[in-house]
Amino acid sequence: MNLSIIILAAGQGTRMRSDLPKVLHPLGGRPLLAHVIDTARCFDNAALHVVAGHGVERVRDAFPDPAIHWITQEQQLGTGHAVAQVLPNVPDDHAVLVMYGDVPLIRKDTLGALQVIAMNNEVGLLTAELDDPAGYGRILRTVDGSIVGSVEEKDATDEQRRIREVNTGFVAAPARKLRNWVDSLDNNNTQGEYYLTDIIAMAVADDTTVRGVTTRDRNEVLGVNTHAQLATLERCYQLRQAMACMEDGVTLIDPARFDLRGRLVAGQDVFIDVNAVLEGEIMLGDRVHIGPNCVLRDITAGDDSTILANCVIEEATIGKASRIGPFARIRPETQLAENTRVGNFVEIKNSGIGTGSKINHLSYIGDTTIGRDVNIGAGTITCNYDGANKHRTVIGDGVFIGSDTQLIAPVKVADGATIGAGSIITSDAPAGELTLSRAPQETRKGWQRPVKKK
């Protein structure tokens, strides 16, 4: 039996108090719905249907995947109504698995258990035991433990509200039977909606066995309706990420203060201190050391490289045994070769730094090519922008740039040149020579500093 997956993502999310559709709010740097779609794609050859409603164009534009079949629910009349919009596109010989676009932590293995039940021509229902079941529908069982129905909290009696086993909404059923049950739904309830959960009692009445699957990880069935709930799920998600990294051998000083908003590929003996935020694609070689309070986005760091505290690095390559920071900013399209040194309050953008070169203090290097074994003095600026266009500075091997130098691009400093401190370089500097530009020093004898009038 083939599988069709229906993801319900039409809710407006009014309690989020946001113009952004609820399923596009970020978790781990990606939309809630992206996590759900990724889990759905773990099922081989499953047909994927997404029901969208509020902000449908924005939601669809965020997922330009031709394999997704989009259904628009013009009126949000309940989960049963949403599923009904999709079922005409589902063959009778399929099993149907219903997922939710605002429940991002659900695991494939949990859903796989429901799939197996549906493939056996029965109904699989995911339940959970909660200490505080408020807001959830309750599972109704007979004295022998058989599931006979589910009741929404607003329609439940006081006795039923005391039940702690809740209906998570995740259900799997044979398509032919599901179609008949959904067609029979009514909205005779306090919400005036068509509840998908009502099919449970219908299945029992049709002598179809309803089998409950209970998850032990309550976090995987938590949904998002408020920013507070989103923040709670963020920490759940990040702890899951942290645990996976540590299982792969990464040392995290404090898993509770670690954010991975993308994918990390790490070598052996990688060390990450507190409050690190990793975004996009991060590749760290062996023995990489990341200090506290660093933000890394789409970077590659070679073996034995060190990134000290409070650095921001994005879209850059860090060579082996290099040392960055503290308080350095490496901007996109920057490549540092092996054994480079970038110190405190240095900003580098769209530049290549050669092997063994050093920029240790308070400098801006933009649109620059620096050769091997170059020393850039404190306060150096490559002036790359003339107000209209960017220009490049080229510094050869073995160059020494004195402190407080400005290099006005386009300009070249040839191999082995020395630039005197405090210079403004507007023309190419020749190889092996000292080049400087300074006004003569003058002392005015007898000069008095002005004082305030009393």
How confident is the model over 152-168, as a mean pLDDT? 92
How confident is the model over 251-278, as a mean pLDDT? 98
Residue from 81, 227, 289, 361 carrying the catalytic annotation: 361
Cβ 325 vs Cβ 319: under 8 Å: no
Partnered with residue 30 across adjacent β-strands are 27
Number of domains making up the chain: 2
67 shares its domain with 194: yes
Give the residue numbers spanning the domain of 453.
Answer: 331-454
Residue 54 has pLDDT above 90, yes or no: no
Residue 157 has pLDDT above 90, yes or no: yes
84 shares its domain with 206: yes
- Closest Cα to residue 103, out of 48, 169, 194? 169
Angstrom distance (rounded) from CA 357 to CA 342:
9
Residue 216 has pLDDT above 90, yes or no: no
Angstrom distance (rounded) from CA 228 to CA 207:
42
> Which CATH number do you get for residue 39?
3.90.550.10
Asked, for residue 335, whether it belongs to a domain, the answer is: yes
> Which CATH number do you get for residue 449?
2.160.10.10
Asked, for residue 241, whether it belongs to a domain, the answer is: no
pLDDT digits (tens, 9 = 90+) for 380-421: 999 999 999 999 999 999 999 999 999 999 999 999 999 999
- What is the reported pLDDT for 432? 97
Count CA atoms within 13 Å of residue 1 on its CB side. Answer: 23
Angstrom distance (rounded) from CA 445 to CA 217:
81
- Closest Cα to residue 200, out of 161, 163, 160, 172? 172
Mark which of 203, 221, 239 sits at the end of a domain: 221
Asked, for residue 426, whether it belongs to a domain, the answer is: yes
Q: Which position has the token pair 């006081």? A: 158
Asked, for residue 436, whether it belongs to a domain, the answer is: yes
Asked, for residue 283, whether it belongs to a domain, the answer is: no
Strand blocks (E) in 105-224: 123-129, 137-141, 147-151, 165-174, 210-214
Asked, for residue 417, whether it belongs to a domain, the answer is: yes
CB-based contacts of 352, cutoff 8 Å, min separation 6 = 334, 335, 337, 368, 369, 370
Mark which of 221, 239, 271 sits at the end of a domain: 221
pLDDT digits (tens, 9 = 90+) for 103-148: 999 999 999 999 999 999 999 999 999 888 988 899 999 988 899 9
Angstrom distance (rounded) from CA 277 to CA 257:
9
How confident is the model over 306-324, as a mean pLDDT? 98
Please say if 49 is a catalytic residue.
Answer: no
How confident is the model over 81-98, as a mean pLDDT? 96
Mark which of 200, 221, 242 sits at the end of a domain: 221
Residue 9 tokens read as 């993502």
Residue 32 tokens read as 């809630």
Asked, for residue 228, whether it belongs to a domain, the answer is: no
pLDDT digits (tens, 9 = 90+) for 169-192: 999 999 999 999 999 999 998 889
